[in-house]
Structure 1
Amino acid sequence: MFEIRVICDPADEDRVLSALGGAFTLGPARNYPSRDGRQRLYLTAHHAERWPTPGETYEGAEPILDALDAVTAIAANAECYTALGREYYLRKAAVLDRIALGPDADARDTIAAEDAAQQLIDTDSATAPADSRAYVRREYLAWRSGVPNAGLHSTRP
């Protein structure tokens, strides 16, 4: 995390914030007038994290019906009153995300995908990004790539 200070013409403020927002994850801008009529902008910034696209994440993934079967099998084979593991929540969130991205998806599919994404984030005790489904895609891609402890590289508080 670092601080950015920009002095700019008030008419350029939106353009400056947009350009910085494309390069960094920004906190709220603190805006103060300068003595010469320009604006002083102070921002807390983090390096922007690149989130994988759905195409990158799900390219070569198993068919949706097979993914649903796998999620169902994990739940069906669990002992009664047993907590389901991270793999269950990850795979469930990923398949619901894929369904919500489909051409026939509606608002219910989007809500289900977002709820499943939040369950995964809660399971990982991670800090939720602005787009919880992007978090699912990153974690699913890492899991499919065989990255050990994929969930441990999550953004945490």
Structure 2
Amino acid sequence: MFEIRAITDPADADRVTAALSAAFDTGPARQYPTRDGRRTRLYVTADHRPEPTTWPAPDQAYALAPSILSEIGWTAARARAHLHGQPIDREYWLRKAAVLDRIALDEETATRPRTDATEMALNAALRLLEIDGHGDGNDPHPDPRGYVRQQYATWAKNQ
């Protein structure tokens, strides 16, 4: 994070602030007159914009994934184990979000009637983001299901 100071004609202050906001991730601009009162001093707290994330395509992310039925069985077994005192861990939420994403993808490309698979996949993705510390509902993630694919591809490669 850094501070930008600009001295400009008062008529140009909004244009300069807008240009800085377009180039950087900025906070609100603070404006003060210069000592002579003819120009405006702008102070803006700024940071570099994060690089856009490229999410893996579904076929790439799930290339090493077991069948959907196998994953449903695995998540169901983990859910049953939770009823008997075993904790639900990140792997469970990752695999559950991934299998729901795969089901939703199949449905989104099919011509049959829609179910709530897309909504369920999104909710599971948001839960994974929450577990990973990337979401509290106030700052929406740009692509929750893309995040699931990224995390699943990394996890599957390391298994």
The alignment's TM-score, normalised by the length of structure 1, stands at 0.63
The alignment status of 1:58 with 2:62, answered yes or no, reads yes
Greater CA radius of gyration, 1 or 2? Answer: 2
SS of residue in 1 equivalent to 2:65: coil
List runs of 5+ in structure 2 lacking aligned partners.
4-12, 26-48
**What residue is the counterpart of 2:116 in the other structure?**
108
Q: Cα gap change, 1:122/1:109 in structure 2, threshold over 3 Å: closer, same or farther?
A: same
**What residue is the counterpart of 1:70 in the other structure?**
74
Range with bigger deviation, 62-71 or 81-90: 81-90
**What residue is the counterpart of 1:49 in the other structure?**
53
Check conservation: 1:32, 1:41, Cα contact below 8 A: no
Cα distance, 1:95 vs. partner? 0.1
Q: Cα gap change, 1:110/1:70 in structure 2, threshold over 3 Å: closer, same or farther?
A: same
**What residue is the counterpart of 2:99 in the other structure?**
95
Q: Cα gap change, 1:48/1:2 in structure 2, threshold over 3 Å: closer, same or farther?
A: farther
Deviations 1:30-62 (A, max 9, x none): x9447xxxx846322211122111111012421
The alignment status of 1:124 with 2:132, answered yes or no, reads yes
> Runs of at least 4 residues of structure 1 off by over 3 A?
31-34, 39-42, 79-83
Cα distance, 1:141 vs. partner? 0.6
Check conservation: 1:57, 1:137, Cα contact below 8 A: yes
Q: CA RMSD in A?
A: 2.7
**What residue is the counterpart of 1:17 in the other structure?**
none
Q: Cα gap change, 1:2/1:58 in structure 2, threshold over 3 Å: closer, same or farther?
A: farther
Check conservation: 1:91, 1:140, Cα contact below 8 A: yes
SS of residue in 2 equivalent to 1:78: helix
Query: How many angstroms apart in 1 are the aligned matches of 2:157 and 2:57?
Result: 15
Query: How many angstroms apart in 2 are the aligned matches of 1:98 and 1:139?
Result: 14
Q: Could you say which structure has the greater relative contact order, defined with CA pairs below 8 angstroms and 6 or more residues apart?
A: 2
Cα distance, 1:97 vs. partner? 0.2
